[in-house]
Amino acid sequence: MHTALLIALAVVVVLLVWFVLTFNRLVRLRNECAQGFSGIDVQLKRRADLIPNLVESVKAYATHERETFERLAEARARSIAAVTVGQAAAAAVLMQSALGGLFGIAEAYPELRASENFQRLQTELSETEDRIAAARRYYNTTVRRYNTMIQSVPSNFVASIGHHEPREFFEIEDAGDRAVPSASIT
Amino acid sequence: MSLQEQIRANRIRTAIVLLGFVVLIAAFCAIVGYSYSPGLAGVVGIVGIGYGLISYFASGAMVAGVSNAHPVTRADAPELYHAVETVSLAAGLARTPPIYLIPDDAANAFAAGRTPDTAYIAATRGIIALLDRRELEGVVAHEISHIRNRDVRLMTIASVLVGVVALLSDMLMRMAWMSGNRRRGEGQNPLILIFGLVAIVLAPISASLLQMALSRRREFLADASAAELTGDPEGLARALAKLRDDHRPLQRVTRATAHLYIESPLRDHAALRSSLGGLFDTHPPLEDRIRALEESGGFRLA
C-alpha cells in the first residue's frame, strides 16, 4: 500500500516538473518571437529612413517620375505605421515592388547610376535588405518552433492554460524578393 | 540534438573540464609533495589554481594575444563586419560579436570568449581575401554557431587550461631531472617517484586527448547549424573546399589554440602535425565535412 502511494506521488511530482518546464519554455519562445519581430522592425525602420534620401538622389536626375515617388512614399508610410506582423509584411511587399520601380527608372539614367551618392545609398539599402532577410529567417524559425509546441500533444494542454496562440509568419513572396536588384558589394 | 540540449551538454562538459582541471592540479601537488617537499606542493598548487582562475576570466583576451588577433572596426573590414552583423541577426544573438583581425596571409578563422556576451570572432586577412561574400557568410555562421551553443566557452577555457597543465608538467619534468641527480640514495619511496613520473608524462597527453574529444564532433554540429542559419550549405561547403586547397601556414599557432579554428591550423605545419594518423587531429578531415554538407543540402561541388 505504501509503495503504491509513493509511486503515485512520484508520478505527480514528475508531471508537475514537466508542466513547469513546458510552461516556461512556451513563455520563453513567446518572448523570443516578440524579440524576433522587433528585430525585423528595427531593420524595416532603417530601410524606411533610407527612402527620403534615395528619392532625393533620384529626383536630381529623373524629375518626371512622380507616380513611382508617390508609391514609395505610401509604402514608407505604411511600413512606419505597421503594428502587426501581417501589416509589416504587406508593407514590405509594397515597398519591394516600389523600390523595384525606382531601380527600374535608374536603369534609364546612366548618370544617376554613376553618381556616388546613389551608389552609396544602393549599397546601404542592399545591406539593410540582407539584414531584413536574416532577421526574418530568425523570426520565422522561432515562430515555427513556438507554433509546433502549441499545436502538438501533450504540450498543447499547457499552451491552452497559458493562453498561447499560434503566431503569424513573416512572409514575403519570392517575386517581391527578387524585385530589388542588389548592388554587388565585394 | 537541439540547441537547448547542446547548450545543456556543453554546460555539463564545462563543469567536468573545470573539475578535471582542479583534480589534475591537486594530483600535481600531491606528487610534488610526496616526491620533493610539501612546501613546494603548496607553491605549485597556488600557482596552478591562481593561473587557472586568471585564465578562466581572461581566457578570451589570452587567446587573442596568443593568436595575434586585434580588435578592428567596421571600416577596417567591411565585408567581415557585414557578414557578422547579418548572421548574428539570423541567429537571434542579443549582441553582434566584435571582430578581430589577424594580420596573416593564411586563411583561417575562430571564435573565442567566455560567454556569448564577451565572445568575439577573429579572422585572418587571408581568409577575407580568399573567400567571396557567400562563403565568408558561411564561415561566420559556423563561428556564430559555436558562440550560440556555448562551444566557445568550453573551447576557450579548455585551451587555456591545457596551457596551464602543459606548463606545470613541463616544470615538474625538469624538477624530476634535477632532483633525480641530487637525491638519489636518500630514504625516498621509489614507487611514488615512478608513479609521479608516469603521471607527469600522462597529464599533457590526457589534456590533449580531452581537447580533441571536445572539438571534433562539434565541428560537424557547427557546420550543420551554420547551414541552417544562412540557409545556404553550399556557401560554407565552397569555403571549406577553398580552405582545403589553400596551403599557406598560419604564423602564430600553438597546440593549445589549434582546436578553436574553423580548419586545423596544424594541417599545413609539418613540424606540429602528428604522425599518429588522425588519432591526434583536432578537426575531422575537410573532405568529410564537405561531404556532410553536400548530403544535407542535396548538391555536389564541382
Shortest alpha-carbon distance between residue A36 and chain B (Å): 7
Is residue B275 over pLDDT 60? no
Cβ contact, residue pair B85, A142, below 8 Å = no
Contact A155, A26 (CB under 8 A): yes
pLDDT at B177: 62
Question: Rounded to an integer, what distance in angstroms lies between the CA atom of residue B281 and that of residue B270?
Answer: 13
From the list B78, B79, B86, the residue facing A134 with the nearest CB is B86
Question: Of A137, A177, A30, A41, nearest to B226 (Cα)?
Answer: A137
Cell numbers found for residue A158? 499547457
Cell of A111: 548618370
- Tell me the mean pLDDT in the region B198-227: 73
Q: What is the mean pLDDT of chain B?
A: 79
The reply to whether residue A137 touches residue B90, judged by beta carbons under 8 angstroms, is yes
Q: Do B86 and A131 touch (CB under 8 A)?
A: yes
Output helix, strand, coil percentages for chain B, rounded to the nearest 5.
Answer: 65, 5, 30
Tell me how far apart the alpha carbons of residues B230 and A138 are, in angstroms, rounded to a whole number.
Answer: 10
Higher-pLDDT residue of A149 and B5 is A149
Which of A63-67, B130-134, B163-167 shows the lowest per-residue confidence on average (mean pLDDT)?
B163-167
What are the tens digits of pLDDT across the range A145-183? 999 999 988 888 888 888 899 999 998 865 444 444 444
Cell numbers at residue B56, please? 578562466
Residue B62: DSSP 8-state: H
Is B148:B3 a contact under the CB 8 Å cutoff?
A: yes
- Whether A184 shows a pLDDT value over 50: the answer reads no
* B92/A134 touch (CB, cutoff 8 Å), yes or no: no
Q: What is the pLDDT of residues A114-145, one digit of tens each?
A: 888 889 999 999 989 989 999 999 999 999 99
pLDDT at B14: 79
Q: What is the pLDDT of residue B144?
A: 93
Give tens-digit pLDDT for A50-108: 999 888 888 888 777 788 889 999 999 999 998 899 999 999 999 999 998 888 888 88
Report the percentage of chain B scoring pLDDT > 90. 21
Task: Please say whether the beta carbons of B117 and B93 come within 8 A.
Answer: no
Contact B91 A138 (CB under 8 A): yes
pLDDT of B262 > 90? The answer is no
Q: How far is CA B140 from the centre of its chain?
A: 17
Q: Catalytic amino acids of B?
A: 143
Highest average pLDDT, of B28-32, B188-192, B207-211, comes from B28-32
How many whole angstroms separate alpha carbon A30 and alpha carbon A143?
A: 8
In this predicted structure, the answer to whether residue B252 has a pLDDT above a threshold of 50 is yes
Q: Which residue has the higher pLDDT, B162 or A67?
A: A67
Strand partners, B71: B100
Query: Which of residues B38 and B77 earns the better pLDDT score?
Result: B77
Alpha helices (runs of H) in chain A, residue ranges in sequence order? 2-59, 66-81, 85-107, 110-114, 116-151, 155-161, 174-179
pLDDT score for A167: 92
Q: Using alpha carbons, select from B15, B226, B8, B222 the residue that is nearest to residue A25.
A: B8
Partners of B132 on chain A (C-beta within 8 Å) are 186
Helix/strand/coil for B112:
strand
- Position A182 scores a pLDDT of 45
To the nearest whole percent, how much of chain B has pLDDT over 70? Answer: 75
Beta strand pairing call for B70-72 and B109-112: unpaired
Which carries the bigger pLDDT value, residue B253 or residue A124? A124
Complex ipTM more than 0.90, yes or no: no
Average pLDDT over residues B90-96: 87
3-state secondary structure of B278: coil
| Dist. CA B107–CA B248, nearest whole Å | 7
Q: For residue B257, what pLDDT is reported?
A: 76
Most confident range, picked from B29-43, B97-111, B266-280: B97-111
pLDDT attached to residue B176: 63
Can you tell me the distance from the alpha carbon of A1 to that of A8, in angstroms, rounded to the nearest whole number? 11
C-alpha cell at A7: 509511486
CA distance A186 to chain B (A): 7
> A177: which residues sit within 8 A by CB, 6+ positions away?
A96, A133
Among chain A residues, CA nearest to B141? A134
Nearest CB partner across the interface for B92, out of A133, A138, A185: A138
Contacting A with CB below 8 Å, chain B residues are 78-79, 82, 85-87, 89-92, 132-133, 228-229, 231
